[in-house]
């Protein structure tokens, strides 16, 4: 433990693997799904880190468990599809915005 009382940041190798997988999936989606847009690799990497921080124990502890990569991916896809359908229902004359 550092001498000033702060806890040392310990990164689990599994978390690093998760972020790398998220980066790959995000960049594949950016390449093949026109609605998914990122201005560059750095932003897709930061997006992957943010997804990891939001979806893991670091933020919510044991209060939320979303399962593994496949279930989280399906959840995200379902959320995006639902959002698109609701926007099209509510605003039929406007183009839907990107992610």
Q: pLDDT tens digits for 84-94?
A: 888 888 888 87
DSSP notation for 32-90: H-TT---SSHHHHHHHHHHHHHHHSHHHHGGG----SHHHHHHHHHHHHHHHHHHHHHH
56-80 tens-digit pLDDT: 766 666 666 666 767 777 777 877 7
* Per-residue confidence (pLDDT) for residue 21, from 0 to 100: 83
Rounded CA gap, 67 and 30, in Å?
24
Per-domain residue ranges of the chain:
13-90
Rounded CA gap, 99 and 84, in Å?
10
17-27 tens-digit pLDDT: 888 888 888 88
pTM: 0.56
* Per-residue confidence (pLDDT) for residue 55, from 0 to 100: 66
**Beta carbons within 10 angstroms of residue 56's beta carbon:** 18
């Amino acid at each position: 433990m550092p001498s000033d009382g702060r806890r040392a940041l310990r990164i689990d190798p599994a978390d690093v693997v998760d972020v790398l997988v998220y980066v790959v999936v995000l960049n594949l989606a950016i390449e093949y799904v026109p609605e998914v847009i990122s201005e560059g690799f750095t932003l897709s990497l930061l997006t992957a880190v943010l997804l990891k921080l939001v979806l893991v124990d670091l933020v919510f502890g044991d209060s939320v468990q979303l399962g593994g990569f496949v279930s989280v991916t399906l959840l995200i896809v379902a959320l995006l599809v639902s959002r698109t359908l609701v926007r099209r229902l509510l605003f039929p004359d406007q183009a839907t915005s990107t992610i």
